[in-house]
Amino acid sequence: MTTLPLVDAGQRDLVGSFPAFDPDQDDLKDFRRTLVEGTTCLLNSASVSYEERTIAGPKDAPQVRVLLFRPTETQAQTTPAILYIHGGGMIAGTPDMQAGTLHRLAQETGALIVSVDYRLAPETPFPGGLEDAYAALVWLHTHAGELGVEASRIIVMGDSGGGCLAAATALLARDRKQVPLCGQFLIYPMLDLRTGGPDAVSDDPTTGEFVWTRAQNRHAWAAVRGTLGQDDPRFGYLSPAFMQDLSGLPPTIITTGSLDLFRDEDVTFAHRLWQAAVPTDLIVYASAVHGFDLLASPLAERAHRDVTEGVRRLLA
């Protein structure tokens, strides 16, 4: 049986437009190409201009590429900033493909957005991508004056696999005590490596049919995890659902969809943040699949308004 009748009516004919990826049969390079091409088209990203820089990276990657999206109409001497981490299950995607969304978000929030081109798995398993993202955060904070950024008003933000890296980056910022964050915004984040597998905490069959499936999730997590054992002290940074202590994190906003494979792990993470006394907003959109905000529709526009207003609150 299909869950298509449960999908938002305005998106029902669109959910099939996302590139399919069967890890057992399809080539990852082909999936990467079609994901970037498709997302670039959906978000009109090819028409957007941005600044590109190469910054100092972690020890095993001397350089990291970042894209800068600046608000064009601002009278302020300094602006807040967002470190953005793109989606793609940590195995695919580029920051360029989301240029349309990030340009729009920069204009509507008055924030400088720095989007990081982190290394992907399986070529670079954990903690490569995470350390790239953290290096970009440190660079943003260290160069705040040069960039015209108010160093005390920086948030991390990401979607899907990028939401995992955003959550882990916030945990690293808390624990390494180098960069004070004023918020984190996690869009249908990928947080629990058990989801979609035999040891999944929950497995609602109404979730995960479209866009990002159980098979894709198992494949991606195996690629990112590499040989890291669960007894490794870094395991909670790999999969934030395993981080025992969530206290001391900045105010958080989490959004997800009721048909998203990550729904339950996202809701559970929000519960744990509340229990850790972290101010947290949670929005679960009815009838929404993974990536629903990329599909032009009233539902996507509502989510966009919520994101813009939420970012403004975190940066206030």
Report helix, strand or coil for 201. coil
SS3 114: strand
Q: Among 140, 146, 92, which residue's Cα sits nearest to residue 119? A: 92
231 CA to centre of own chain:
26
208 pLDDT above the threshold of 90 = yes
Over its C-alpha atoms, the chain yields an Rg (Å, rounded) of 18
Q: CA nearest 43: which of 296, 309, 239?
A: 296
Lookup result for tokens 């008055």: 110
- pLDDT tens digits, residue range 33-51? 999 999 999 999 999 999 9
Name the percent of the chain lying above pLDDT 90. 95
Contact 254, 266 (CB under 8 A): yes
Q: What is the full DSSP assignment across 39-83?
A: HHHHTTGGG---EEEEEE--TT-SEEEEEEE--SS---SSEEEEE
Tell me: the pLDDT tens digits for 145-204?
A: 999 999 999 999 999 999 999 999 999 999 999 999 999 999 999 999 999 999 999 999
What's the pTM? Answer: 0.97
Tokens found for residue 99: 């240029």
- Amino acid at residue number 52: E
Strands (E), the chain: 51-56, 63-69, 79-85, 112-117, 149-159, 183-187, 252-257, 280-285
Q: How many CA atoms within 13 Å lie on the side-chain side of 178?
A: 15
Considering the chain, what is the average pLDDT of its residues? 97
Q: Which two tokens stand for residue 254?
A: 């989490």
Per-residue pLDDT tens over the stretch 116-151: 999 999 999 999 999 999 999 999 999 999 999 999
pLDDT of residue 277: 98
pLDDT at 16: 85
Sheet holding 252-257, edge to edge: 51-56, 63-69, 112-117, 79-85, 149-159, 183-187, 252-257, 280-285
Tokens of 283: 């929005």
Confidence of residue 275 (pLDDT cuts 50, 70, 90): very high
Structural contact between residues 95 and 44, judged by C-beta atoms closer than 8 angstroms:
no
Enumerate long-range contacts of 135-139, CB under 8 Å, 24 or more apart. Answer: 135/55, 135/56, 135/57, 135/58, 135/61, 135/64, 136/55, 136/64, 136/66, 136/83, 137/83, 137/169, 137/173, 137/179, 138/178, 138/179, 139/55, 139/56, 139/64, 139/66
Question: 3-state class of 117 per DSSP?
Answer: strand
DSSP 131-165: HHHHHHHHHHHHTHHHHTEEEEEEEEEEETHHHHH
CA distance 214 to 203: 10
CA distance 230 to 312: 37
Q: pLDDT class for 17, splitting at 50, 70, 90?
A: confident
